[in-house]
Structure 1
Amino acid sequence: MSATWFHRRGALAHGVWESVVDAALPGWQHTGLHVAELAEGDEVALDDDGAERIVVPLRGSFTVEHREGLEPRRTVLRGRPSVFAGPTDVLYVSAGSTLRITGVGRVAVASSPTDERHPSRHITADEVAVELRGAGASSRQVHNFGTPGSLDAARLIVCEVVTPAGNWSSYPAHKHDEHVPGHESRLEEIYYFESAPVAGAGPAADPDAAFGLFSTTSSPVGEIAIDEQVRTGDIALVPYGYHGPAVAAPGYDLYYLNVMAGPGPERAWLISDDPAHAWVRETWRTEQIDPRLPYGGGADEER
């Protein structure tokens, strides 16, 4: 089952793209992801395939050419030096547009098929809502640039999470695989991972050795089992089941980009905790947020 839903860096390569997640994968239909590494003079492009998209600079800066209806547009994304440097500016592109991306660095494009049209929007880094979630060893930092409270979109929900070395996130394990009005929404989810030695680790720390851990377990909706070391470029697909924890190994920070969408009537992220571990949330009330956070800017706390 892990081989079905977990893919090492490059295992989903297609053409100029290092990784492509789309409906061509068996059992996948609501979300998509393209990841590419660009050098000077390189470009990647996506046709109009009836999907809304968010362009996310992972490392570096990019220029995005697209269309809003018949009007051509050109947006410069200033980006960032790495995913651990704080939030980045991103570009939401309305369904019905082609994309052409140029620049130097690493870029991701999250997507979801839809017939709805919502206005394209350039969200600058200082507009991104930065949330500190959890407490103690469960402290993590969330960048909510593509969530329902931050972005007007049809179905796509996108955020990114930074977990400091030694901490746990996506914890307690939770699920969103059933439509239960007001309680749980049905969403498939993509996790794209990066890991790196902590700042100041020194020359002995090998960036290619940086890793974290990620798990999923079955729910009444379906059987799934992922228990893997995750490194930069790895991708986990979660069609159903409880997912988490995502654990940053001591000495290495962990990042993941979450892409979610589903068939439900409402664009909402409503979850059910694994009942065996839901009690853990209550322990956070007496703990403090990890003092290493936030990375790269101010934040609001939520527990």
Structure 2
Amino acid sequence: MTAAPDQAGLHLPDGSTARAGHRCWIDPESAGWQYTSLRILDLPPGGERTFGTGESEWVLLPLAGAATLDCDGRRLALHGRPDVFGAISDFAYLPRDATATVRSAAGGRFALAGARCRARLPVRYGPASEVPVEIRGAGHATRQVNNFAGADVFETDRLIAVEVLTPAGNWSSFPPHKHDRQRAGREVRLEEIYWFTIADAPDGTPGSGYHHGYPSCAASRSRVLAEVRTGDAVLVPDGYHGPSMASPGYDMYYLNAMAGPLRGPDRAWLVREDPAHAWIRDTWAGQPPDPRVPLCTAPAPSEGSR
């Protein structure tokens, strides 16, 4: 039986947004905002899917498995990876107003992170070898960020997308932060989606973690404290969010897809941390990062080349 979304509609359990053959389908209409979308597509061996990109730009990211993409007369081979914890993946950019076909000979799981946009940029391939890997935090707040489509890394019109890997027992998205107002040089308004994968126990029992969000003002609609499992999504329309908590014994992965009104070279990820908890950042100077990170690294250029 599929669980129902939480009362605020922000925690979306696995399967609760299934649509058109996708295990997850979040668009601006269903989220109640303007720009950001996310689809998760599971393909069987030999499977394929053809779709129109509409008024959005998209990044196709293999989560498990390899794929071939045909779009705008180009064919891109994505080497992919076995799973999100073991390797960094290559990816592809798809423009708006195009038709694309994704095929997977061996089958796999693929994310499509999207944003409504104005500019029509060309189809492009993103090598795994060029994905910057960042270690954030220290001690039990250490996590790994794979900035494959970060604002200052990969050109898009509006979309920002990154992966975060949190070792078992650690907290990420901490200190809690928000990005729901435009403050020149200090904060940028962004809608955000978290999509989770939680590692299984050694005997195959599914793992779980937790995600927290709370209002930043009286008008904020964000309040969620949810147990999250593989396939769950959390919407962040506004308010503070964090921490995302990896239970002891269970590594946590999440894909962040974000977009807002700023475009092109002006798009950015600028946040305001909750002043009540920002002090914790000062303690990191005296702590080493968790030695378990990075959980995976980018391959050498020769391995990551298309």
- Taking structure 1 as the reference length, the TM-score comes to 0.92
**Structure 1 letter corresponding to 2:164:** V
The aligned counterpart of 1:140 is 143
The 3-state SS of whatever aligns with 2:186 is coil
Distance 1:234 1:77, change over 3 A: same
Cα 1:269–1:26 change in 2 (3 A) is: closer
In structure 2, which of residues 48, 61, 64 is the aligned counterpart of residue 59 of structure 1? Answer: 64
Q: Give the CA deviation at 1:26.
A: 5.0
1:101 equivalenced with 2:118 (yes/no): no
User: How far is 1:46 from its partner?
Assistant: 2.1
Aligned to 2:166: 163
Relative to structure 2, which stretch is displaced further, 259-268 or 237-246? 259-268
Residues 137 and 298 (structure 1), Cα distance of their counterparts in 2 relative to 1, 3 Å cut: farther
Q: Could you say what the CA RMSD is over the residues aligned between the two structures, in angstroms?
A: 1.5
Whether the aligned pair in 2 keeps the contact of 1:90 and 1:123 (CA below 8 Å) is yes
TM-score of the aligned structures, taking structure 2 as reference length: 0.91
Q: Please report how far the alpha carbon of residue 230 of structure 1 lies from its aligned counterpart in structure 2 after TM superposition.
A: 0.5
Deviation at 1:270, TM superposition (A): 0.3
State the partner residue of 1:243: 241
Contact 2:177–2:272, Cα closer than 8 Å, also in 1: yes
1: CA distance, partners of 2:29 / 2:222? 20
Name the structure 2 match of 1:112.
115
Contact 2:131 2:298 in 1 (8 A): no
Partner of 2:283: 283
Q: Name the residue aligned to 1:127.
A: 130
Which of 7, 12, 20 is residue 12 of structure 2 equivalent to?
7
SS at match of 1:252: coil
Deviation of 1:2 after TM superposition, in Å, equals: 4.5
Cα deviation 1:153-183 (Å, max 9, x = unaligned): 1110000000000000000110000000000
- Partner SS state of residue 250, structure 1: coil
- Aligned counterpart, 2:195: 192
1:88 to 1:2, Cα distance in 2 relative to 1, 3 A: farther
- Can you list the C-alpha shifts for 1:76-123, whole angstroms capped at 9, x where unaligned? 111111100131101112222222111111100000011202232211
Aligned residues of 1:2 and 1:227 also touching (Cα < 8 A): no
Deviation per residue, 1:42-98 (Å, 9 max, x gap):
22232131211100100111111111xxxx111111111110013110111222222
User: C-alpha distance in 2, partners of 1:176/1:27?
Assistant: 17
Which of the numbers 39, 48, 51 marks the counterpart of 2:44? 39
Contact 2:17 2:24 in 1 (8 A): yes
Alignment match, 2:267: 267
Q: How do 1:222-241 and structure 2 match up within 5 A? A: 222-241=220-239
Residue 27 of structure 1 corresponds to 32
Distance 1:119 1:36 in 2: 23
3-state SS of the aligned residue for 1:24? helix
Please report how far the alpha carbon of residue 264 of structure 1 lies from its aligned counterpart in structure 2 after TM superposition. 3.3
The match for 1:215 is 212
Q: 1:51 to 1:151 in 2, by over 3 A?
A: same
- For residue 298 of structure 1, report the CA deviation from its aligned partner: 6.3
SS of the aligned residue for 1:290 comes to coil
Task: Name the CA distance, whole Å, in 1 between partners of 2:259 and 2:69.
Answer: 23
- Which residue of the other structure, out of 22, 25, 31, is the alignment partner of 1:17? 22
**Sequence identity of aligned pairs in percent?**
43
Q: Runs of 5+ in structure 1 lacking a partner?
A: none
| 2:55 aligned to which of 33, 39, 50 | 50
Structure 2: any 5+ residue segments left out of the alignment?
Answer: 1-5, 300-306
Larger CA deviation: 215-224 vs 245-254: 215-224
* Residue number in structure 2 paired with 1:293: 293
Does the 8 Å CA contact 1:41/1:102 hold for their aligned counterparts?
yes
* Match in the other structure for 2:253: 255
20-29 or 131-140, which deviates more: 20-29
Please tell me whether the aligned partners of residues 53 and 94 of structure 1 are also in contact (alpha carbons under 8 angstroms): yes
Residues 71, 123 of structure 2: 8 Å contact kept: no
